[in-house]
Amino acid sequence: MRRSWVGGANAAETDFPLANLPFGVFSTTAEGPRCGVAIGDHVADLAALAAAGLLPGDCGFDAPALNTFMALGPARWDEVRTRLTALLAEDGDGALRGDAALCGRALVPLAEVAMHLPFRVTGYTDFYAGRQHAFNSGSILRGPDNALTPNWPHMPIAYNGRTSTVVVSGTPVRRPLGQVMGPDGDGPVLSPSRRLDIEVEFGAVVGVPTRMGDTLTVAEAWENIFGFVLLNDWSARDIQRWEGQPLGPFQAKAFATTISPWVVTRAALEPFRTKGWPRDKALLPYLDEPADYFFDLTLETHLCPKGGAATRIVSTNTRHLYYSAPQLLTHHALCGCAMNAGDLLGSGTISGPEKSSFGCLLEQTWGGRDPVPLDGGERLFLEDGDTVTMTGWGQGEDYRIGFGRCDGEILPARPNVGAN
């Protein structure tokens, strides 16, 4: 593990050691949004470094999104990562460390920045790639004998979501209105969702675009993925239950999806690659994996009531996924669907075998039957004023590769004429 001369970068508990270098978009009170990299307790201003001639000038780092850089592909990603490592390492070339004026401009304390969506989200697809979650939710709705649909072990199931309501960590989430089945069961009423939920997910970010009509092998898909984010796909279970037949989620998922502000690259996560699940059934050859494309990453979620203390309600791991990120991308492109730089692929809820590792309240409460204990209270589903915070990391020897925080506070539904 190489050490950095930047403050906080060598602390064992930091999410952002030199081995990480996640990409994001930040602003300060003096300057608008531009691209940066987290290092210790600072952000390295990539636009300033490029302007000083220390990074390639064609990466679009002065833009308020990473899309231009992501579309340049793996060779340029590796070139920039190698150069940043040399600039920020204790044993590096000193081109930045030796220039006090440039250091003052290009290294900004994290405490002084505002974070923005790291990339322009050009498409959002939410998959259903966790076997335990699929089995649990199917058991709640249909019973354990019919929990998994016949197609589930053969291909990644998904729906296309909304890009307009993908938001960065810290953005409040308004409780949605929608049609739900009325208390007497005779028909729907218009109501704020009363079964508002979280979904602990892992998001893959597409970097290299494809053309309409193109397909991808799994190995090619891996090379096209720029990196990964934490993702909370907020879910209104009562709205979904009423509207979801036969076409699946619509307004129950369209109101908000929160992602972490930092995109952690494939290179940073390389030490945490691992094998996936044994297959229930053999997959068709186009989904064959020539390497291990799963990760061993811990994901935790805390719930904090307004004015109260936070309680950890989920501790799970990305290794519980049944389909890998490049398999998701390969299947997405199979029909010839064009993929864009900035497409976001959500894994679907990640649940392990124990209740504490179930990645949503629907599972933890088993459909609203069993309350989840909190410090000083309990929950079946989210209440107004609750703040949900996701964190995630890969743990190495005396270091971690982390994603920062992915959080949001629940605001009350807007008043609406005719709401019940």
Check pLDDT > 80 for residue 372: yes
Check pLDDT > 60 for residue 41: yes
Q: Is 133 a catalytic residue?
A: yes
What is the band of 280 on the pLDDT scale with cuts at 50, 70, 90?
confident
Place of tokens 């203390």: 309
- The pLDDT tens digits of the residues spanning 263-279 come to 999 999 999 999 998 89
Per-chain mean pLDDT for the chain: 96
Considering the chain, what percentage of its residues have pLDDT values greater than 70?
99
Q: For residues 120-134, give the mean pLDDT.
A: 98
Domains of the chain: 23-116 (2.30.30.230), 123-411 (3.90.850.10)
Q: For residues 325-336, give the mean pLDDT.
A: 98
Check pLDDT > 90 for residue 61: yes
81 and 50 Cβ atoms separated by less than 8 Å:
no
Q: For residues 394-420, give the mean pLDDT.
A: 88
Element (H, E) at 142: helix 131-142
Token pair in block for residue 77: 């990603």
Check pLDDT > 80 for residue 416: no
* Catalytic entry in 133, 302, 320, 332: 133
- The pLDDT tens digits of the residues spanning 158-177 come to 999 999 999 999 999 999 99
pLDDT at residue 394 in the model: 98
105 vs 31, 154, 322, CA distance in Å? Answer: 11, 52, 45
Q: Please state, in angstroms and rounded to a whole number, the distance separating the CA atoms of residues 391 and 299.
A: 6
Query: Comparing 117-131, 175-189, 228-242, 350-364, which segment has the lowest mean pLDDT?
Result: 175-189
pLDDT at residue 186 in the model: 87
Q: For residues 242-250, give the mean pLDDT.
A: 91
302 and 310 Cβ atoms separated by less than 8 Å:
yes
Question: Hey, what amino acid is at 252?
Answer: A
pLDDT at residue 417 in the model: 57
Q: Please state, in angstroms and rounded to a whole number, the distance separating the CA atoms of residues 92 and 81.
A: 13
